[in-house]
Amino acid sequence: MALALMKHLFNQGKISEKVYKKILSKYEKKGLAESNNSC
């Protein structure tokens, strides 16, 4: 859920790509990342 929200905010330009990538890598380390990381 949180990852989907971050993706939504990123697509709207509310958060930077740097922040988005950081969050994605954090989720990947926990093994919770979704397989569709396409923007």
> What backbone phi and psi angles, to 5 degrees, belong to 28?
-65, -35
Sequence-distant (≥ 6) Cβ neighbours of residue 11 within 8 angstroms: 39
Structural domain boundaries in the chain: 1-28
Cβ atoms of 23 and 6 closer than 8 Å: yes
* pLDDT for the residue 7: 86
pLDDT at 37: 52
Each residue of 1-39: pLDDT tens digit? 677 888 888 889 998 999 889 988 888 787 654 555 544
pLDDT value of residue 31: 65
pLDDT number for residue 18: 93
Q: How far is CA 15 from the centre of its chain?
A: 10
Looking at residue 34, its pLDDT comes to 53
Token pair listed for 32: 């919770």
